[in-house]
Amino acid sequence: MLISLNWLKSGLETDAISDDELVKLIGARLVEVEGVIDETHKYDGIYVVEVKYCEKIPDTHLSLCKIDDNGVAKDVERDENGYVQVMCGAPNVHVGMFAAWIAPGAIVPATYHDAEPFKIGMRRMLKKYDSYGMMAGADELDFGDDHSGIVEINPNYAHAGKTLSETFGNLSDKILDIENKSLTHRPDTFGILGFRREVAGILGQEYKSEKWYLNPEQEFDNDPKIKLDIEIDEKLCPRYTAIVFDAKLENKKPYLDYESTLLARSGMRPVSPIVDATNIAMLAFGQPLHAFDYDKFVAVGGSKTPKIIVRAAKEGEKLELLDGNIVELNTDDIVITSNDVPVALAGAMGGANTAIDENTKRVILESATFSLYNLRKTQMAHGIFSEAITRFTKGQPAGQTKAVALRFANVTSRYLTPLALFDSQKEEPTPEQVTVSLAQINNLLGTDFDINEVCQILENVEFDTEVDGNKIIVDVPFWRTDIHIAEDIIEEVGRLSGFDNITPVLPLHATSDPNPLFQLKTHIRDHLAAHGANEVLTYSFVHGDLLTKVGQKPENSYKIVNSISPELQYIRQSIVPSLLDKSYANVRAGHAKFALFEMNQVYPRTLGFDNDNVPQNAYQLGFVYIDGAVKSNYYTAKKYLESLLSTLGVNYSIEAFEANDENAYYEPKRSAAIKSHDKVIGYLGEIKASILRGFKLATGTAAFELDLHEVLRFAEGATHKDFRVSQYPSVSRDVTLSVPLDTPYVELEQQLRKVLQNKELIFKLACTSIYQAEGATTKNVSFHIEFADPEKTLEKAEIQAIMKKLESIK
Amino acid sequence: MPSISELKQELKKLNAEYAKIKDVPAAERADFGKQLNIKKQNLMQQIADAEAAAEVANVEALDITAPCDINGAQPEFLTADFGSKHPLMTELDRVIGIYQSMGFDIMESRQLDDEFHMFDSLNFAKGHPARDGYDTFRTEEGFIPPAHTSTMQHRVLKANKYKLDAGKSIAVAVPGRVYRNEDVDATHEHTFYQCEGVYVSKDCTLGNMLAILREFFEKYYGQKLNIKTQPGYFPFTEPSLEFLIEKPKSLGGKGDGWLEMLGCGMIHPNVLKMAGIDPTEYQGFAWGGGIDRLVMLRYGLGDVRNFEAAKLDFLKEFTC
């Protein structure tokens, strides 16, 4: 939202405060000011001038003009009367008119914010006419898009030589760019009047709304010939006020006016006198207005008594809008109807069937409020994001529809004569009351206000207060639709007096317990990174193609209905596919050998729901190891997995792989299930060759994944049993066992361990090689073993007996 | 079932058929070609399937329990200087560490939640336009990948209510991954991280909140900091504020600039009530802010897209 600082400040006492400080205060106590557009010098060097002489140059569109600037411009050549010569191409230039003249050296306002603003000088035209400066059109002055001629200024207040800025009440302005989002609950601040009230409160000044706003005239002398009934559904339309006018409409304003300059400074464009007047009312009071052609309205509704019926649209009902689009409505839309025939999509746009045109004789002005919930849906369904609906979706107060309609009648009397007023609401409602105690305020904010200070802060922005002991009874003004409970009042007190004036005081610290899952993740992160692996983060959302590519079923993934792109349509079922997906780009970038891992939540549909009835998740560690130079990376991935599990103190075993819906990417013949306490806690294996080809990755790429909740359950922490040291000499031996090819390695290792454990020895054991001679049906598995007795030095015979046992294993 | 070589033989024959096209009457040519193409596609699919089946059948099993391959070298770890931790996770660990030192329990936020936790339990009126400001994703069932860690507030309050009953306060920090439906550019990501804070006791005040937030950022940046606020609007807090700190010296601050760090406020009585906590007896405050930005600022990073790209060239800047 753009707000003219000059407009905002009018009526406030702001002499004692600089604009910068004022903007800072607004930022600290009302709303974030995203930026200040400085237009202080935008209209410098532009004067009101009278055209004294004007002669068409034959066969050109140009006129040679002499203008009276009352001698204010410097560095111009003047004739014997002191007039300045300007060439002008506008068809409407004529003797006696007052125009806006951009003097030589001044900037054309429309280019003011350009990288290189256009500065007017003296030009020689048609090779012989000197032209000083230019007489400007509305577009050049940045007051709209009108390029049909130069602007004319009302002779009633135009004075040759006066600056354009002064003529229009000071155009030397700053425009505040307001971040709307934090005002979602404050419909009142979407009008300059409400915004100004807040600024008064912030400055500690008492703001007083005018009587016409607070107490609009109750009686209106209706012309009995004008008939109009109003029937509303209060849930959809809390209030509907209408005034019927006799209209002598003009297509275009005869003169540039102050309102057009305000529209321009508020980011809007002048359109026509009546549209401009509705827009100004909206900018001033936050109340959008709409004008219908009364006679068309009556005709559309048929022969019955004219009646406005506001109702929910019917499914599939069609309406042609002002912009020519035909929209198909749904039951969330609200329509304004003439005896049940739709004439407008409420809050959004009028219908073509009741549009005002050059033949319009009578006008209905609508000043109404609608359910913000319905209009929000209308906004979404039809993609209409106008200034008006933006305001309606904040929930404009019903209390001001009549006052604003009457105000409109007041300012448009030149071409609109009010005939009759109709209002769905007969009486103004009594204001809501909220009671708050002084203790509540000070206890919640941590402040030390006395009761009078609080009342003053609230009274400044027109809350009526009444003190009853330690309690304050607050009458909420009708425009504060957001205030219902004591905390709402407390916020007002804290905000208007400045939250930054509250002294920060530390409460006593609570005590906390470390979160085991975070500790686990930190441990894993440190361990894997210290062993050369790289932690990554990848999106939770994946392409459906990625799922099918790795053999997962898309129907096992939750599907996003409003995804940004197909790439991000499904919620992933496991981490490893994301890692595979990200690997090739790294290979291509020249990384031949690397490991990626990620720890994150996954939500395969197969997990069902938790106690809150939301999808159950698993916390997963995914790991991939890439090395194209090696035939199989299974054993490297396994080394990472085993070192990790042993540092965590997880008692695990490597067991036969079991395929399921989620782990389908592992090659079953070269993969394993990792179990602890008979529960599967993860999988380890090579990825299927066909899948790896899809990722352009080398055959043999391996991965593992662990369920971190299970790991946490079984992690006993690093134990010290491995660090036992005997005081007696240890024996170092190599053992090679020759066994059939299909004997699992682990059986050999377990048997070796059993032998050493049975003797109650302290030992270390490591496999040094597995060898198969060419064509052999057996393999030789070699171990290096160190052992010692905790109690004594082992005798030679004892050692031999142990070795014999070890070597006889098969 | 025919063998692969038989199928290939057949394909060869079929390819030869194409030469006959020129002999077919012009009117029938298109149809003839079409039929051939269908046959060929069919055959090629059969070959691909057979080859895939053969590949699967030919896969050699390995000894899943062994430490290395038969006749293979012993596997080795990558060298330590290859390794890196994700800067976002490192930073999150730091943030969590500070909150823990300040007495906050840690509870991670969910990554798929429902309308109730995301909005209803946070005092967003049903169908209120304020819900639109969060640009949420939705699943077919109406679940929501949360757009803020506040989605956990209701759970935090319910799960820790017993502490209030025992005369203690609730102090919980909730880090997590959140999502917004917005286009990605150098400064916007649809996936990012936040950390929420929730504090409830009999008598905590807005002044306490400002002090806790200031303490956090002073610990985080290792210096005394000036703070300021801006009014904000969140349906789940009343009053609602935006919290700013002066730009710290470590980020090149010279006492002039301000950084918007988070949104905060006193927990709305309705939010407490919905979690079964009596708002006339207890009051609390909550806040939430982005983690990505902290990392961007700390390392002077310019492009948020690097965080989720899994590019080693970027990650290796953060080797341990």
Instruction: Quote the domain boundaries for residue A194.
Output: 2-40+174-208
**pLDDT tens for residues A748-780?**
999 999 999 998 999 999 999 999 999 999 999
Q: Which residues in chain A are closer than 8 Å to B233, comparing Cβ atoms?
A: 181-186
For residue range A316-362, list pLDDT tens digits in order. Answer: 999 999 999 999 999 999 999 999 999 999 999 999 999 999 899 99
Q: Distance between CA A551 and CA B12 in Å, rounded?
A: 32
Q: Does some domain include residue A214? A: no
The verdict on a CB contact (< 8 Å) between A636 and B96 is no
Instruction: Identify all chain B residues contacting A33, using CB atoms and an 8 Å cutoff.
Output: none
Q: How far apart are CA B123 and CA B270, in angstroms?
A: 6
Mean pLDDT (chain A, rounded)? 94
**With an 8 Å Cβ cutoff, is B177 touching chain A?**
yes
Element (DSSP H or E) covering residue A571: strand A570-571
> Considering the domain boundaries, does residue B116 fall inside one?
yes
| HSE, side-chain direction, 13 A CA sphere, residue A797 | 0
Which of B51, B63, B149, B155 has the highest number of chain A CBs within 10 A, making it the mutation to test binding with A?
A: B63
Which is higher by pLDDT, A810 or A283?
A283
Q: Structure tokens of B79?
A: 């060298």
How many contacts does A have with B, using Cβ atoms within 8 A?
Answer: 352
In a shared domain, residues B40 and B158: no
Q: Are residues A377 and A245 in the same domain?
A: yes
Q: Is residue A216 part of a domain?
A: no
Question: Are residues A514 and B77, on separate chains, in Cβ contact within 8 Å?
Answer: no
Q: Are residues B131 and B219 in the same domain?
A: yes
Q: At which residue do the structure tokens 């905790």 appear?
A: A790
Whether residue A635 and residue B75 make contact (CB cut-off 8 A), yes or no, is yes
Using the Cβ of B89 and the Cβ atoms of chain A, whether some distance falls under 8 Å is answered with yes
* Burial bucket for residue A15 (CB in 10 Å: 0-12, 13-18, 19+): exposed
In a domain, B180, yes or no: yes
pTM score: 0.87
Residue A718: which pLDDT band, with cuts at 50, 70 and 90?
A: low
Q: Of A401, A423, A445, which residue sits at a domain end?
A: A423
Q: Is A515 in contact with B107 (Cβ distance < 8 A)?
A: yes
Choice between B319 and A559, residue whose per-residue pLDDT is larger: A559
pLDDT at residue B14 in the model: 85
Domain count, chain A: 6
Q: Give the domain CATH number at A481.
A: 3.30.56.10
Query: What pLDDT shows up at residue B252?
Result: 87
- Model confidence at B13, in pLDDT bands (50, 70, 90)? confident
Contacts 24+ apart (CB under 8 A), A269-273: A269/A144, A269/A145, A270/A138, A270/A143, A270/A144, A270/A146, A273/A249, A273/A412, A273/A415
Partner B contacted by A593 (CB < 8 A): yes
The answer to whether residue B96 neighbours chain A at the CB level (below 8 Å) is yes
Render pLDDT for A389-412 as a digit per residue (tens, 0 to 9): 999 999 999 999 999 999 999 999
Q: Is the dihedral of CA A153, A159, A165, A169 positive or negative?
A: negative
CATH number at residue A278: 3.50.40.10
| Cβ–Cβ contact B159 with A under 8 A | no
Chain A residues with CB-CB distance to B308 below 8 A = 537-539
- Are residue A31 and residue A164 in the same domain, yes or no? no
Interchain pair A746, B139: CB under 8 A: no
pLDDT confidence tier of residue B68, bands split at 50, 70 and 90: very high
B192 touches chain A (CB under 8 A): no
Grade residue B96 by pLDDT with cuts at 50, 70 and 90: very high
Give the domain-ending residue among B19, B40, B58: B58
Give A 119-178 residues with CB within 8 A of chain B: none
pLDDT per residue as tens digits for the range A143-180: 998 889 999 999 999 999 999 999 999 999 999 999 98
Is there a single domain that holds both residue A458 and residue A564?
A: no
Q: Kindly report the backbone phi and psi dihedral angles of residue B100, in degrees, each rounded to the nearest multiple of 5, phi listed first.
A: -65, -40
Instruction: Give the pLDDT score at A723.
Output: 64
SS3 at position A710: helix
Mark which of A656, A681, A714 sits at the end of a domain: A714
In this prediction, residue B6 carries a pLDDT of 87
**In a shared domain, residues B140 and B288:** yes
The verdict on residue B256 lying in a domain is yes
Say if residue A362 is in the same domain as residue A482: no
A563-568: long-range contacts, CB 8 A cutoff, minimum separation 24? A563/B137, A564/B181, A564/B182, A564/B183, A564/B184, A564/B190, A567/A541, A567/A542, A567/A543, A568/A539, A568/A541, A568/A542, A568/A543, A568/B190
B67 assigned to some structural domain: no
pLDDT of residue A722: 57
Q: Are residues B50 and B100 in the same domain?
A: no
- Chain B hits for A607, Cβ within 8 Å: none
Q: How far is B2 from chain A (nearest CA, A)?
A: 22
Same domain for A283 and A409, yes or no, is yes
DSSP states along A354-401: G---TT--EEEEEEEE--HHHHHHHHHHHT---HHHHHHTT---GGGH
Among B41, B58, B75, give the residue marking a domain's end: B58
For residue B276, pLDDT over 70 is answered with yes
Interface of B with A in 11-40 (CB under 8 A): none
Amino acid identity, residue B9?
Q
Asked whether residue B70 is domain-assigned, the answer is no
**What CATH number corresponds to the domain at position A123?**
2.40.50.140
Question: What pLDDT score does B260 carry?
Answer: 93
Contacts with B, A 367-396, CB within 8 Å: 372-373, 376-377, 380, 393-394
- What is the average pLDDT across A626-649? 94
Nearest CB to B312 within list A181, A183, A591 = A591
State whether A560 and B137 contact (CB < 8 Å): yes
CB contact under 8 A, A559 and B227: no
Q: Which of A232, A477, A335, A481 is nearest to B125 (CA)?
A: A481
Residues B150 and B240 in one domain: yes
Q: Do A680 and A751 fall within a single domain?
A: no
Query: Do B177 and A690 lie within an 8 Å CB cutoff?
Result: no
A730 and A589 share one domain? no
* Amino acid, single-letter form, for residue B295: V
Query: Between the CA of residue A190 and those of A3, A180, A756, A795, B229, what are the distances in Å?
Result: 10, 9, 83, 96, 22
- Among A418, A422, A423, smallest CA distance to A245 is for A418
Task: Render A188-206 in DSSP notation, one character per residue.
Answer: GGGSHHHHHHHHHHHTTPP
Residue A523 burial (10 A CB sphere; 0-12, 13-18, 19+): middle
- Residues A496 and A527 placed together within one structural domain of the fold: no
- pLDDT at position A305, please? 87
Q: Do A504 and B266 touch (CB under 8 A)?
A: no
- CATH (domain of B136): 3.30.930.10
The pair of structure tokens assigned to A50 is 């009278």
Residue B212 lies in a domain: yes
Pairwise CA distance, residues A653 & A672, whole Å: 10
B250 vs chain A: nearest CA distance in angstroms?
24
Which among B58, B77, B103 is the end of a domain?
A: B58
Q: Is A510 inside a domain boundary?
A: no
- Residue written as token pair 């890692």: A579
Both A240 and A299 in one domain: the answer is: yes
Give 3-state DSSP helix, strand, coil % of chain B, rounded to 5.
45, 20, 35
Residue A525, token pair as written in the block: 């992160």
Same domain, A59 and A98: yes
Is residue A509 domain-resident? Answer: no
pLDDT band at A574 (very low <50, low <70, confident <90, very high): very high
A301 and A409 in a common domain = yes
Residue A129: phi, psi to the nearest 5? -105, 120
Task: Evaluate if residue A719 carries a pLDDT over 70.
Answer: no
Contacts of A560 in chain B (CB under 8 A): 137-139, 145
Q: Report the sign of the C-alpha dihedral through residues A737, A741, A744, A747, in that order.
A: negative
Tell me the per-residue pLDDT of A110-128, one tens digit each, with 9 for 90 and over: 999 999 999 999 899 888 9
Q: Which of A411, A416, A406 is nearest to A362 (CA)?
A: A416
- Tokens for A561? 């209905």
Q: What is the number of residues in chain A?
A: 810
What residue type is B157 in one-letter code? L
Judge if the upstream peptide bond of residue B239 is cis by omega within 30 degrees of 0.
Answer: yes
B109 touches A at CB < 8 Å: no
The answer to whether position B74 is within a domain reads: no
pLDDT at A720 (0 to 100): 53
**Are the beta carbons of B68 and A564 separated by less than 8 Å?**
no
Per-window interface: A 654-673 vs B, CB < 8 A: 654, 656-657, 667, 669-672
Do residue B49 and residue B135 come from a single domain? no
Among B80, B207, B239, select the one facing A530 at the smallest CB separation.
B80
Distances (CA, A) of A178 to A27, A35, A626: 9, 7, 52
Tell me the percentage of chain A whose pLDDT exceeds 90.
88
Report pLDDT for A747. 94
Beta bridge partners of residue A438, listed in sequence order: none
Is pLDDT of B220 > 70? yes
Q: Which of A186, A396, A770, A778 to mutate to test the interface with B (most CBs of B within 10 A)?
A: A770
Are A614 and B143 an interchain contact pair (Cβ–Cβ within 8 Å)?
yes
**pLDDT at res. A510:** 73
Secondary element (H or E) of residue A311 = strand A307-312
Q: CATH number for the domain including A659?
A: 3.30.930.10
Q: How many percent of chain A have pLDDT more than 70?
A: 99
Q: Are residues B24 and B125 in the same domain?
A: no
Hey, is A785 helix, strand or coil? Answer: strand
Contacts of B269 in chain A (CB under 8 A): 485, 487
**Residues B247, B314: one domain?**
yes
Q: How many separate domains does chain B show?
A: 2
B51 CA: distance to closest CA in chain A (Å): 11
Contact A489, A477 (CB under 8 A): no
How distant is the Cα of A613 from the closest Cα of chain B, in angstroms?
9
Q: pLDDT of A253-279, one tens digit each?
A: 889 999 999 999 999 999 889 999 999
Name the closest residue on chain B to residue A596, using Cα atoms.
B310
> Cβ of A770 and B74 within 8 Å?
no
Asked if A443 and A409 sit in the same domain, the reply is no
User: What ipTM did this prediction achieve?
Assistant: 0.91
Same domain, B124 and B172: yes
- The verdict on B168 and B37 lying in the same domain is no
Q: Which two tokens stand for residue B85?
A: 């931790």
pLDDT 10s digits, A722-739: 567 788 999 999 999 999
CA distance A128 to chain B (A): 55
% of chain B residues with pLDDT over 90: 69
> Is B54 contained in some domain?
yes
Nearest residue of chain A to residue B70 (CA atoms): A770
pLDDT for residue B320: 61
**What is the torsional sign of CA A681, A687, A690, A691?**
positive
Does the distance separating the beta carbons of A500 and B229 come in below 8 Å?
A: yes
**What's the 3-state SS for B213-267?**
HHHHHHHHHCCCCCEEEEECCCCCEEEEEEEEEECCHHHCCCCCCEEEEEEEEEE
Within this chain, do residues B33 and B182 fall inside the same structural domain, yes or no? no
Chain B residues in contact with A535 by the CB 8 A cut-off are: 84-86, 89, 315
Residue B15's domain comprises 4-58
